[in-house]
Chain A
Amino acid sequence: MLTRYTAALAAVLFVSAAPFAQAADKPTDPQIAHIAYTAGVLDIEAAKQAIKTSKNKEVVAFAKDMERDHEAVNKQALDLVKKLKVKPEDNATSQALSKAAEEERAKLAKLKGAAFDKAYIENEVAYHKQVNGALETLLIPSASNAELKSLLETGLKIFQGHEQHAEHVAGMLK
């Protein structure tokens, strides 16, 4: 059990040394729900900042896609936890994610024009890569409720789409 967890953690660490490394243990369903929901909220906030700041048509369109999709997925997540009577539980991973996002937001707030666009999109690629890696190697395998697992799996496919979409926009900005 410990070895399996260590392997999963090592895989996450390989993707990124950031927030998920702080998960002290295999997350429970209430923690997984909280992490997934928080990850969505943070990307919506990033999108709102980009919609307000960017003048680039492609970047704004991408940010609106992020806002719309993550809101739809998070609504599904809320409906599910209500149905399952699960209470999302705050945890170290959610907190670390929020802290990293706050720092990124402050960094982006100092930029404008093409520099902002480039930094926002590059962070979107990195962020989706990080969240997708965590979903794949830690959150989905750890989820014990079948409906939660299935929602996370669909979420993963949507966010993998976002990662490719962000890479495409990043390519256009070069």
Chain B
Amino acid sequence: MKAGALIRLSWLAALALMAAPAAAATIEVTIDKLVFSPATVEAKVGDTIEWVNNDVVAHTATVKGGWDVMIPPKKSASLTLKAAGAVDYFCRFHPNMRGHLDVSP
């Protein structure tokens, strides 16, 4: 094989790697004593957020005018992100609980 062809091939391989969409990830947010942690999460469209509730009371992850995820005590619940953008969310039962997501396309 000629050196030129070899270089072209490796270029193609590199391009293919860059173009391949990154596999969707699951990002865990734990809830302990009414605190979402991490409080801010950076994610991509297609990623899933999984809230793990360690408290004895139920919480929600709620976006005003948007989605609402119920997280029972000592259980977890998840949501797959469908839209890009920055969102603030809170717990409907305990509005003093707040979290933030930065979702990139």
Contacts and interface: CB of A to CB of B under 8 A. Distances in A.
Interface residues of A, number: 17
Contacts of A75: 56
A6 interface: no
Interface of A: 65, 68-69, 72-73, 75-76, 153-154, 157-158, 160-162, 164-165, 168
Contact of B94 (A68, A73, A161): A161
A68 B93 CA distance: 11
A134 B16 CA distance: 64
B73 A161 contact: no
Given A73-B57, A158-B34, 17 more contacts: A65-B93, A68-B58, A69-B57, A69-B58, A73-B56, A154-B33, A157-B94, A157-B96, A158-B57, A161-B93, A161-B94, A161-B95, A161-B97, A162-B93, A164-B94, A164-B95, A165-B92
Contacts of B56: 72-73, 75-76
B91 A161 contact: yes
Query: Chain B's interface: helix, strand, loop or mixed, by majority?
Result: loop
Interface string B27-61: 00000011000000000000000000001111000
B57 A165 contact: no
Contacts of B34: 154, 157-158, 161
Nearest to A79: B56
B93 A157 contact: no
